[in-house]
């Protein structure tokens, strides 16, 4: 399916991007993954709180958000101080799945004013190998789709440590399009998210004239 | 509606604001030419100065107000056609008691308040929400402590109307209880288990049990005190609307109200409180197109309801604004600065303690006394024979029952074997060592001196577990080889052990589980540190079996939290196993269990969980010490001085002190009076029990209901004085050293 407002994106290659994956070197990366899962269990007060869907909020507190030099392997990612949303997403996916939650990669497009994006672009320019996620008024972001029951989903943003609100579809930080890698179509609030396809859920701001694809 | 007058009370607009200003602004938005009179009882209420008000009534503080006169003034205004909308909880309680029902007195009546009051509203079964577990603070102290442990010490002490203080330990609970009792002049306090959830509210306006309008508000930003700073307004979901409507009808509610909710991440909603007035954020709903104060008035005055769709913009936030002070209401002067906090006042001004007895009916009830088992009753009768005091008495029957319960504990039918080890540090008295040996327990030691004592008590080296950060102390002691297990507190210690040539059966590590505050064990919260641990474990000689030790006192963190810590340690053990190819053969669970919890801790479930993750697990060791001995001693003490205030028993000095009871303030102790008729349980009450020594913190109990005729020479027993109360006791004020 083609995103209705794809023509308005200043970086249409985002529509073909799949969710980020971390590389595996070998045993060092296996140990890094296991360390991450054990850390998550230590921060997951399952018996204390009795909650099934508690998210790995500790990721947001432990890792700083910023540019990541891709490709990156598990053993490198866990020792990094700063990680981007792709690494946050990979970490959250691993943790959710380790505790039996039906979780899948997800991607969103978000709207921001240029007053924000210009600063991010400047920060990311220092790391040429980083993913180019910043448009003029729309940015690419990775999240985690969590299935509840057969066809309902919630979306967790491990970078910010929040569950996204399907009712917010316009303005600063609003998610205007979502792509879910859940194997079946799921509903998120009043939206239907088809497998592997971008679904537009809010108005896409027009790129400024000077922005190129 | 130029002629309509509204009286709106509760105008303070500080960090914890009242709703009056929001109600007044909403009324102004709907009834532009109405006369709005703001009412408050404190000259410092900031909303008095807002220009939305046409007039203000600044009444005296409630402790100085004349009840009859004020009731007449209100009745006169109502008779002249005014509407009265109160937003102060205490004033609403007073109105329900003092004022007859009136169609323009837009507040709930007494019966409605009674069914919706804290801590557990009687109307709750009609509502589609769960109630957080709660407990009246008039329960016996040991029941309160059990509640806190059951809820992992994530609990709130709550005031009778509002106010809540989070507490995480017994001393914190005692401080919060004393503070709220002082503030509210009431023992009508309660405990509530914390619910981890998003804060939401349903606000509604109703007249005679019919809802005029209602909205749902989700908090987006809160102040450090948890008060709303910004939120999002929405319709009340259909599945909530019908039951709320039925509950409001059932209680015949009139006025504004707010149902404070918590929505956990699984989507379950919990009712925190039913507040009997509009919330302070109510004008945020008006900005979102839903003017509930106006809907209330319209319904009350029979004006017909105006449809109120949500506006396009449904989010609101607060800002801080300066407004000029009314010339006729100059600000109150500051008192002369004292040391400490200056001039902080809430919505009731500074006189809340004096106000409460005037506004709220006294409903104080006596506290429950501690329970007395038949074994303890017999032990206390024996203790009554003690002549010289203070004297720490061994409760032989209670002790034998505790150790016998360990011996009787059924062994798992299959899988790893569960073994109990007695922690010598908790009480190294020979009586206990003998009981532990008889119960088939191993010995757990934290020094070479304890190892020597265990060997002297007939344990073999193969039955001794050695633990702790200073286990090889002192140097002068021999280091018996061939111990059952040695658990290291650091990687450095493990490396030294690996090269020691010792031949203990199991070598292991104590893990410092991430997320728990502890000074002990090996931290694994950095990948590099975990790698270093893996390297050290991989280098251990093959004949030595590998063990993992975790210790988190369940009496301090609660059962749920303890289980989380243990399961987390099991996951780390499995991770260590996978990374090193070394089989974890032993899981050692430290002590700190409360005597009442030991039979309830799900060791069998934990063992099963551990076995499911650690295929080579052979043994699970559990190290109770405190749980077996804390309740098995009591300090018999004699009254040295009886002090009265205004004729009432106020303070009692006894010949015991914190030297015999160093943990007196750390957890509750059951106290009994020894009388000719036998031991009499002593409940909490107003009398402080003071120790004999000249230390300010020598307070054995902050409050007891001691008999009014208590006299010098009478005797009390402070129970739960075994375990660390015994082993950490010291000599003080006795003219020498022990």
Please provide the DSSP assignment of B270-329 as one string. EEEEEESS--TTHHHHHHTT--HHHHHHHHHHT--PPP-PPPS--EEE------PPPTTS
What CATH code is carried by the domain that includes residue B697?
A: 2.40.37.10
Residues B405 and B552 in one domain: yes
Chain A environment of B515 (Cβ under 8 Å): 42-43, 58
- Identify the domain containing residue B146 by its residue range: 133-193
Nearest to A55 among B152, B265, B563 (CB): B265
Question: Which residue on chain B is closest to A54 by alpha carbon?
Answer: B265
Query: What is the pLDDT confidence band of residue B31, given thresholds at 50, 70 and 90?
Result: very high
Q: Kindly indicate the confidence band of residue A4, based on its pLDDT and cuts at 50, 70 and 90.
A: low
Q: Do A78 and B568 touch (CB under 8 A)?
A: no
Domain of residue A194, residue span: 11-54+70-200
User: What average pLDDT does this structure show over B500-521?
Assistant: 94
Question: Could you tell me the CATH number of the domain that includes residue B245?
Answer: 3.30.470.20
User: Residue B347: its pLDDT value, please?
Assistant: 67
H/E element holding B110? helix B110-116
User: What phi and psi, each to the nearest 5 degrees, are found at residue A151?
Assistant: -135, 10
The arithmetic mean of pLDDT across residues B25-43, rounded, is 96
DSSP state of B424: G
Residue B344's alpha-carbon distances to A35, B44, B74, B340, in angstroms, are 48, 11, 30, 11
Q: Is B343 within a domain?
A: no
Any domain includes A103: yes
The answer as to whether B368 is a domain residue is no
**In what side-by-side order are the strands of the sheet with B55-58?**
B55-58, B35-40, B5-9, B83-85
- CB within 8 Å: A31 and B530: yes
Would A4 be classed as within a structural domain?
A: no
The mean pLDDT value for B279-293 works out to 98
Average pLDDT across chain B, whole number:
94
Interface test with A, best of B155, B195, B514, B518 (most A CBs within 10 A): B514
Closest by CA position to B292, among listed B228, B201, B226, B223? B201
Question: Is residue A213 scored above 50 in pLDDT?
Answer: no
Question: Cβ(B157)–Cβ(B119) under 8 Å?
Answer: no
Question: What is the SS3 assignment for chain A?
Answer: CCCCCHHHCCCHHHHHCCCCCCECCCHHHHHHHHHHHHHHHHHCCHHHHCCCCCCCCHHHHHCEECCCCCCCEHHHHCCCCEECHHHHHHHHHHHHHHCCCCEEEEEEEEECCHHHHHHHHHHHCCCCCCCCCECCCEEEEEEEEEEECCCEEEEEECCCCEECCCCCCCCCCCEEEEEECCCCCEEECCEEECECCEEECCCCCCCCCCCCC
Closest CA to B583 of B538, B621, B551: B538
Q: What is the pLDDT of residue B671?
A: 98
Number of compact structural domains in chain B:
4
Count CB-CB contacts under 10 A for residue B629: 32
Q: What is the pLDDT of residue B362?
A: 62
Instruction: Mutate one of B151, B516, B525, B576 to test the A interface: name it (highest A CB count within 10 A).
Output: B525
User: Alpha-carbon dihedral of residues B74, B78, B83, B87, nearest 10 degrees?
Assistant: 20
pLDDT interval class at A59 (50, 70, 90): very high
CA distance linking residue B499 with residue A33, whole number of Å: 31
Residue B458 banded pLDDT, cuts 50, 70, 90: very high
Domain end position, chosen among B193, B213, B238: B193
Query: What one-character-per-residue DSSP string does B389-411 give?
Result: SSEEEE-HHHHHHHHHHHHHSPP
The beta-carbon neighbor of A43 closest among B515, B563, B567 is B515
pLDDT score for B554: 87
Q: Which residue of A has its CA nearest to B525?
A: A39
**Greater confidence, B176 or B371?**
B176
Asked whether residue A175 is assigned to any structural domain, the reply reads yes
Same domain, B594 and B683: no
Confidence band of B352 (pLDDT split at 50, 70, 90): low
Measure B572 CA to nearest chain A CA, in Å: 6
Q: Do A48 and B264 touch (CB under 8 A)?
A: no
Asked if B164 and B227 sit in the same domain, the reply is no
Nearest CA in chain A to B572: A38
Judge if B469 and B532 occupy the same domain. Answer: yes
Give CA separation, B57 vs B8, B35, B247, B322, B388, in Å: 10, 13, 35, 21, 67
Identify which has the larger pLDDT, A32 or B410. Answer: A32
Is the residue at B80 inside a domain?
A: yes
Q: Are residues B23 and B43 in the same domain?
A: yes
Rounded to whole angstroms, how far apart are CA atoms A182 and A166? 17
Q: What is the DSSP code (8-state) at residue B616?
A: T
Give me the pLDDT at residue B547, please: 98
Measured CB to CB, residues of chain A less than 8 Å from chain B are 30-32, 34-35, 37-39, 41-55, 58, 75, 78-79, 163, 167
| Burial of A128 (C-beta count, 10 Å sphere; 0-12/13-18/19+) | exposed
At residue B678, φ and ψ (nearest 5 deg) are 115, 180
SS3 B673: strand
Q: Give the gap in angstroms from C-alpha B550 to the nearest C-alpha of chain A.
A: 13
pTM of the model: 0.93
Interface confidence: ipTM more than 0.95: no
Residues of A in contact with B154 (CB under 8 A): 48
pLDDT beyond 90 at B238: yes
Q: CB–CB of B624/B420 below 8 Å?
A: yes
Tokens of B283: 């004008």
Residue pLDDT, tens place only, A101-153 = 999 999 999 999 999 999 999 999 988 888 889 988 899 999 999 999 889 99
Same domain, B96 and B240: yes
Q: In the structure, what pLDDT confidence band is assigned to residue B209 with cuts at 50, 70 and 90?
A: very high
Per-residue pLDDT at B77: 98
pLDDT at position B372 is: 87
Beta-carbon contacts below 8 Å between A and B: 77
- Asked, for residue A167, whether it belongs to a domain, the answer is yes
Any domain includes B364: no
Residue B557: cis peptide before it, omega within 30 degrees of 0: no
A46–B265 C-beta distance less than 8 A: no
CATH of the domain at B468: 3.20.20.10
* CB atoms B534 and A31 under 8 Å: yes
CA-based nearest residue to A204, from A27, A2, A7: A7
Q: What is the DSSP string of B524-587?
A: -SSHHHHHHHHHHHHTS-TTSEEEEEE---HHHH-HHHHHHHHHHHHHHHHHHHHHH---EEEE
For residue B1, the model assigns a pLDDT of 54
For the ranges B339-343, B410-414, B650-654, the one whose mean pLDDT is highest: B650-654
CA atoms in the 13 A half-sphere facing the CB of B711: 3
Identify the three-state secondary structure at position B431: helix
Would residue B166 count as lying in a domain?
yes
Contact B564 A54 (CB under 8 A): no
> Residues A68-81: what's their mean pLDDT?
96
Residue A207 placed within a domain: no
Query: Tell me: the pLDDT tens digits for B594-631?
Result: 999 998 888 999 999 999 999 999 999 999 989 999 99
Q: Which DSSP symbol is given to B352?
A: H
As a whole-number percent, the residues of chain B with pLDDT over 90 amount to: 84
Q: What is the mean pLDDT of chain A?
A: 90
Could you give the C-alpha distances from B58 to B43, B45, B542, in angstroms and in order? 7, 9, 83
In a domain, B365, yes or no: no
Q: Are A129 and A70 in contact (CB under 8 A)?
A: yes
- Please state, in angstroms and rounded to a whole number, the distance separating the CA atoms of residues B33 and B28: 7
Same domain (yes/no): B635, B623: no
- Domain co-membership, B645 together with B604: no
A211 lies in a domain?
Answer: no
Whether A60 is in a domain gets the answer no
Among residues A38, A171, A172, A67, the alpha carbon closest in space to that of A127 is found at: A67
Residue B102 within any structural domain of the chain: yes
Helix or strand holding residue B240 (H, E): helix B238-251
Residues of A with Cβ-Cβ distance to B234 under 8 angstroms? 167
DSSP B11: -
Q: What's the CA gap between A158 and A111, in Å, rounded?
A: 18
pLDDT-derived band at B349 (thresholds 50, 70, 90) equals low
Distance of CA B466 to the CA centre of its chain: 35
Are B459 and B572 contained in the same domain?
yes
> In this structure, is residue B469 part of a structural domain?
yes
Residue A1 has pLDDT above 50, yes or no: no
Question: Which of these ranges, A42-46, B57-61, B122-126, B658-662, has the smallest mean pLDDT?
Answer: A42-46
Distances (CA, A) of A156 to A152, B335, B513: 14, 51, 26
Residue of B530, B558, B563 lying closest to A35 (CB–CB): B530
Output the pLDDT for position B556: 86
> For residues B352-361, b (16+ Cβ closer than 10 Å) or e, as one string?
beebbebbbe
Residue range B133-182, pLDDT digits in tens? 999 999 999 999 999 999 999 999 999 888 899 999 999 999 999 999 98
Domain boundary among B605, B629, B653: B629
pLDDT score of B147: 97
Helix (H) or strand (E) holding B493: helix B491-498
Confidence of residue B220 (pLDDT cuts 50, 70, 90): very high
Report the alpha-carbon distance of residue B498 to residue B533 in Å, rounded: 13
Q: Are B265 and A43 in contact (CB < 8 Å)?
A: no
C-alpha distances in Å from residue B4, one per residue of B489, B518, B644, B730: 76, 64, 57, 74
Q: Encode pLDDT of B627-642 as tens digits.
A: 999 999 999 999 999 9
- Chain A environment of B196 (Cβ under 8 Å): 49, 51, 54
In a domain, A35, yes or no: yes
DSSP secondary structure letters along B438-478: HTT-EEEESSHHHHHHHHHTT--GGGEEE-STTTT--TTS-
- B22/B169 same-domain check: no
Chosen for mutation from A33, A43, A49 (greatest number of chain B CBs closer than 10 Å) is A49
pLDDT value of residue A212: 37
- Residues B233 and B93 sit within 8 Å (Cβ to Cβ): no
Name which of A38, A58, A75 is nearest B571 (Cβ-Cβ): A38
Per-residue DSSP letter, B349: B
Query: Residue B182: which CATH number?
Result: 3.30.1490
- Nearest Cα of chain B lies from the Cα of A30 at a distance, in angstroms, of 8
pLDDT of residue B343: 55
Are both B670 and B562 inside the same structural domain? Answer: no
Q: How many independent structural domains does chain A possess?
A: 1
Alpha carbons B652 and B692: distance in angstroms, whole number: 10
Could you tell me if B670 and B555 lie in one domain?
no
Average pLDDT score over residue span B281-305: 96
B275 token code pair: 């507040």
Structure-token pair, residue B164: 């809540």
Contact call for residues B706 and B690 (beta carbons, < 8 A) = no
């Amino acid at each position: 399916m083609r995103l209705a407002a794809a023509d308005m994106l200043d970086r249409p290659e985002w529509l073909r991007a799949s969710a980020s994956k971390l590389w595996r070197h070998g045993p060092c990366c296996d140990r890094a993954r296991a360390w991450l899962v054990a850390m998550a269990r230590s921060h997951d007060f399952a018996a204390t709180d009795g909650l099934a869907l508690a998210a790995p909020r500790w990721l947001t507190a432990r890792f700083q958000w910023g540019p990541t030099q891709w490709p990156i392997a598990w053993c490198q990612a866990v020792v990094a101080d700063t990680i981007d949303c792709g690494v946050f997403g990979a970490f959250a996916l691993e943790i959710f799945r380790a505790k039996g939650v039906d979780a899948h990669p997800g991607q969103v497009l978000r709207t921001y004013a240029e007053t924000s994006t210009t600063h991010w672009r400047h920060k990311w320019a220092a790391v040429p190998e980083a993913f180019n996620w910043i448009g003029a008024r729309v940015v690419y972001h990775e999240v985690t789709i969590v299935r509840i029951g057969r066809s309902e989903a919630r979306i967790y943003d491990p970078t910010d440590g929040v569950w996204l609100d399907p009712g917010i579809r316009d303005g600063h930080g609003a998610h205007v399009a979502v792509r879910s890698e859940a194997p079946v179509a799921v509903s998120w609030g009043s939206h239907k998210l088809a497998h592997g396809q971008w679904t537009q859920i809010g108005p896409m701001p027009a790129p400024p004239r000077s922005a190129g694809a | 509606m130029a002629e309509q007058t509204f009286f709106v009370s509760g105008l303070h607009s500080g960090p914890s604001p009242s709703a009056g200003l929001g109600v007044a602004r909403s009324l102004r938005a709907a009834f532009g030419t109405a006369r709005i009179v703001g009412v408050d009882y404190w000259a410092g209420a900031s909303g008095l100065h807002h220009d939305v008000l046409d007039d203000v009534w600044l009444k005296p503080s409630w402790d100085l107000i004349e009840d009859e006169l004020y009731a007449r003034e209100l009745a006169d205004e109502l008779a002249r056609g005014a509407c009265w909308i109160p937003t102060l909880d205490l004033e609403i309680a007073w109105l329900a008691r003092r004022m007859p029902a009136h169609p323009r007195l837009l507040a709930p009546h007494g019966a409605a308040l009674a069914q919706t009051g804290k801590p557990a509203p009687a109307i709750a079964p009609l509502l589609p929400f769960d109630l957080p577990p709660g407990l009246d603070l008039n329960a016996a102290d040991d029941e309160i402590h059990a509640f806190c442990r059951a809820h992992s010490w994530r609990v709130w002490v709550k005031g009778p109307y509002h106010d809540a203080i989070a507490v995480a330990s017994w001393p914190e609970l005692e401080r919060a209880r004393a503070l709220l009792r002082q503030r509210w002049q009431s023992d009508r306090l309660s405990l509530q288990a914390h619910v981890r959830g998003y804060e939401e509210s349903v606000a509604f306006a109703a007249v005679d049990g019919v809802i005029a309008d209602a909205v749902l508000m989700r908090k987006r930003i809160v102040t450090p005190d948890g008060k709303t700073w910004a939120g999002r307004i929405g319709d009340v979901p259909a599945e909530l609307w019908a039951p709320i409507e039925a509950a409001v009808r059932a209680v015949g509610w009139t006025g504004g109200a707010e149902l404070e909710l918590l929505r956990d991440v699984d989507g379950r909603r919990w009712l925190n409180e039913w507040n009997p007035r509009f919330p302070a954020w109510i004008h945020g709903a008006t900005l979102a197109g839903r003017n509930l104060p106006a809907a209330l008035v319209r319904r009350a005055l029979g004006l017909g309801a105006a449809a109120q769709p949500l506006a396009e913009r449904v989010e609101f936030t607060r800002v801080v604004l300066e407004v000029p002070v009314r010339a006729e209401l100059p600000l109150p002067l500051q008192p002369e600065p004292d040391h400490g906090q200056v001039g902080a006042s809430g919505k009731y001004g500074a006189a809340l303690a004096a106000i409460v007895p005037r506004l709220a009916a006294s409903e104080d009830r006596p506290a429950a006394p501690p329970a007395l088992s038949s074994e303890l009753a017999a032990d206390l009768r024996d203790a009554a024979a003690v002549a010289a005091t203070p004297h720490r008495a061994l409760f032989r029957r209670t002790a034998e029952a505790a150790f016998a319960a360990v011996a009787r504990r059924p062994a798992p039918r299959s899988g790893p074997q569960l073994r109990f080890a007695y922690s010598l540090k908790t009480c190294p008295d020979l009586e206990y060592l003998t009981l532990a040996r008889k119960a088939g327990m191993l010995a757990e030691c934290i020094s070479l001196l304890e190892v020597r004592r265990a060997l002297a008590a007939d344990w073999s080296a193969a039955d001794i577990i050695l633990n702790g950060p200073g286990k090889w102390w002192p140097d002068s002691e021999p280091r018996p080889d061939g111990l059952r297990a040695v658990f290291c507190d650091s990687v450095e210690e493990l490396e030294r052990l690996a090269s020691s040539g010792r031949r203990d059966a199991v070598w292991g590590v104590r893990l410092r589980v991430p997320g728990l505050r502890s000074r002990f064990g090996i931290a694994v919260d950095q990948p590099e540190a975990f790698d270093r641990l893996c390297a050290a474990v991989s280098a251990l000689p093959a004949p030595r079996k590998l063990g993992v030790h975790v210790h988190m006192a369940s009496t301090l963190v609660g059962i749920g939290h303890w289980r989380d810590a243990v399961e987390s340690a099991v996951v780390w053990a499995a991770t260590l196993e996978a990374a090193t190819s070394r089989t974890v053969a032993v899981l050692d669970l430290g002590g700190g269990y409360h005597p009442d919890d030991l039979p309830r801790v799900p060791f069998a479930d934990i063992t099963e969980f551990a076995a499911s993750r650690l295929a080579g697990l052979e043994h699970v060791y559990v190290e109770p010490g405190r749980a077996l001995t804390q309740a098995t001693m009591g300090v018999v003490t004699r009254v040295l001085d009886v002090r009265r205030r205004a004729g009432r028993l106020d303070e009692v000095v006894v010949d015991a002190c914190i030297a015999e009871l160093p943990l007196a303030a750390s957890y509750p102790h059951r106290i009994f009076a020894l009388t000719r008729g036998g031991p009499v349980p002593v409940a909490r009450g107003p009398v402080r029990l003071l120790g004999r020594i000249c230390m300010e913190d020598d307070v054995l109990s902050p409050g007891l209901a001691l008999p009014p005729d208590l006299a010098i020479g009478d005797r009390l027993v402070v129970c739960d004085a075994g375990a660390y109360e015994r082993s950490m006791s010291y000599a003080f004020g006795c003219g020498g050293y022990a």
